[in-house]
Amino acid sequence: MIDGPELVDRLLNKLDAQVPFPATTTPALSAELRRRSPNQPLPRRCPVTRVDYAGDEGGILCGIDFGIANAEKAHFVSITHLTFGRCVPLYQEIEAYRKRRIKRLRRLQGAPSP
């Protein structure tokens, strides 16, 4: 099991109460989004407008909004592919979840931890 169910439930409830909150896409996610939507300029900074849980396989998902009125696609990404400023009220809890999940995923995949 990657995520602790009680931990995820508590964090999801707290995150849901904070929506919308600011996030920044990681460089890898930004590159993938540009590849998939080459005709749309997508800024790296965006608000998280929805949170959900995709089970152990997907973890906490964030719906992000780039402010494009006629967007071709909705964007839901793992919270591990976003970064958050220290001004976000749940910054420490989000970072603890992200680091724990990434570490456990690497361990399951047999990759060395950084």
Residue (of 52, 76, 56) closest to 5 by Cα position: 56
Q: What is the pLDDT of residue 2?
A: 83
Cα 55 to Cα 5, 24, 44, 52, 82: the distances in Å are 9, 23, 26, 9, 18
Q: Which two tokens stand for residue 10?
A: 């508590």
pLDDT of residue 73: 64
Q: Which of 3, 13, 110, 10 is nearest to 56 (CA)?
A: 3
Tell me, what amino acid is at 93? E
The structure tokens listed for 35 are 């590849």
* pTM, 2 dp: 0.84
Q: Cis ω on the peptide bond leading into residue 22 (within 30° of 0)? A: no
Domain boundaries, the chain: 5-107
pLDDT in tens, the chain (114 residues): 788 889 999 999 999 999 999 999 999 999 998 898 888 888 899 999 999 999 988 899 999 988 776 555 678 999 999 999 999 989 999 999 999 998 988 888 875 555
